[in-house]
Every structure is written in structure tokens, then in C-alpha cells.
């Protein structure tokens, strides 16, 4: 168990809908990363937050957005869903110092199925 939690585990929805994925980082970690894992694209970085501020954007669609709250949990919002958005969405948090610095610890993921 990495200490990173994600909810829900599974999400089934229809095209055109909007969903919210939630992530809680490990205790003490300030950084949260979101990744998408799909069969055709592999593992791709979406976006990163550090202590409430957006720090980097990767291959994130305009229909997707995220935020990090004062308690450091993060939410990834996916709107106008398309069939191709079906994927595993992972959250990771990064250690601050010592041997854990620079290491990202991943949550169990949320499997999104768009029908």
C-alpha cells in the first residue's frame, strides 16, 4: 500500500457526461500528479499540482481540469466524455526529502468506462 488513495475504484458513465476523480496524497506530500493509462497511448502525464498550485501540464485535453485543495487532496474533472476517454487514471504523490525525494508513489487508480 503506497499510502495514496483514489476514489472511486470504478466509474461507468455515458458519453457527454462529466465525472470527478478524487485523490488523497500520502501524508506530508505536497505534490500530486495525474496520469492516464490507456491501451493505445500507454502511461501519459496529465497535470501536476504542488501545494495547491498548478505546476506542469502534459497531454491534458481542454475538457479535463484539475485542482488541489487546501487539505492537499486533488480532483480531476473530466467533461463531455468520449469513448476514447475510457482508461485507468492514476494519481501519484512525490516524496519531499531523503530517500523518498524524487520518487512518485502511485495510488490504485480509477478505471473509467465511457459507454
**Residues between 57 and 86 that touch other proteins (CB under 8 A):** 58
Query: Whole-angstrom Cα distance, residue 71 to residue 3?
Result: 15
Strands 31-38 and 42-50: antiparallel
* Least separation in angstroms between CB 63 and other proteins: 20
Q: Which helix (H) or strand (E) holds 18?
A: none
- Among the candidate windows 16-24, 44-52, 61-69, 72-80, which touches other proteins by CB under 8 A? 44-52
**45 binding other proteins? (CB under 8 A):** yes
CA 91, CA 36: separation in Å to the nearest integer?
Answer: 9
Closest CB to other proteins among residues 17, 102: 102
Beta bridge partners of 31: 50, 94
Residues in contact with other proteins by the rule CB under 8 A: 2, 4, 31, 33, 42-45, 48, 50, 55-56, 58, 90, 92, 94, 102-109
Amino acid at each position: 500500500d503506497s499510502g495514496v488513495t483514489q476514489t472511486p475504484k470504478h466509474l461507468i458513465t455515458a458519453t457527454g457526461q462529466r465525472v470527478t476523480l478524487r485523490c488523497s496524497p500520502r501524508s506530508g506530500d505536497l505534490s500530486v500528479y495525474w496520469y492516464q493509462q490507456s491501451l493505445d497511448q500507454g502511461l501519459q502525464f496529465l497535470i501536476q499540482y504542488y501545494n495547491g498550485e498548478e505546476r506542469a501540464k502534459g497531454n491534458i485535453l481542454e475538457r479535463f481540469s484539475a485542482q488541489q485543495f487546501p487539505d492537499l487532496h486533488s480532483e480531476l474533472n473530466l467533461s463531455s466524455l468520449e469513448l476514447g476517454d475510457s482508461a485507468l487514471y492514476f494519481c501519484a504523490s512525490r516524496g519531499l526529502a531523503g530517500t523518498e525525494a524524487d520518487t512518485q508513489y502511485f495510488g490504485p487508480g480509477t478505471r473509467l468506462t465511457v459507454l
